[in-house]
Amino acid sequence: MDCVSNIGDGRLSPSGFSATISGLLGSQAVDKKFSYKSSQPFVHGYCLDVPEPSALSTAQSYRITAVCLGNICRSPIAEIILVDRFERAGLAQLVQVDSAGTGDWHVGGRADRRTIAVLRRHGYDIDHSPRQITADWFAGINLLLAMDSTNFRDLQRMAPSSSVKSVHMSRSHLRMLRSFDPVLSALPAPHPELDLPDPYYGTPEDFELVLALVERAADGVVDFVRQDLAL
């Protein structure tokens, strides 16, 4: 029996492996409520029967989706950097990273040319076509990473919440990317200091800043997923 938190930013101990696969398994029968304390605020949730970590296959990978407004600047940068970090950590077979926007203005186009340029300057390759996230994505996502407070609130409103049994992703899976920056980890989400600034109307230097801020948070995301997978 494993447990999934449903509010706050509480992280589960190794017994919380189910948090990693709640989005993979679809609806599960809820067994009973639980509560626990961690380094984060008091957390409540639900327990359900899930397979052991060894049951994960490459077809059932842990899915992370980075979300910004148009999916041409910040979230593609986050996606590419996180893919790199999970490859370095030896977790590429278990973790799938993608990205999307809350808006549809750029769907089917390309990432911003400045996004492509800054990633290539730092040794990252990118081949990206913008997409828009919709409510039906939530069942397959384990960790949603909002780039700013507006994205965070938009995703909260979008998340299915009709009943406990039908909710595939609890609030504990929705995080602001910069909350994984060790310097900012104590801030509650959403918080303006956790916002990853939108460089769209800025200069190449603004894209450099975004890349640097994402890199500062990336290792924290990897550590979080390791804990979620009980590795």
Q: Is residue 3 annotated as part of the catalytic site, yes or no? A: no
The CB-side HSE value for 194 (13 A sphere, CA atoms) comes to 24
State the catalytic residue, choosing from 68, 98, 195, 228.
68
State the catalytic residue, choosing from 63, 74, 131, 178.
74
Q: Is residue 98 annotated as part of the catalytic site, yes or no? A: no
Q: What angle, 0 to 180 degrees and rounded to 10, lies between the N-to-C axes of helices 113-121 and 204-228? A: 70
Nearest-10 Cα torsion for 58, 45, 153, 217 = -50
Which spans in 122-172 are helix H?
149-158
Q: Is residue 68 annotated as part of the catalytic site, yes or no? A: yes
Q: Quick one: which of 178, 179, 192, 209 has its CA closest to 115? A: 209
Rounded to whole angstroms, how far apart are CA atoms 175 and 19?
14
Token pair 């507006």: residue: 150
Question: Is the sign of the CA dihedral 152, 154, 159, 162 positive or negative?
Answer: positive
State the catalytic residue, choosing from 98, 112, 198, 228.
198
Residues identified as active-site = 68, 74, 198
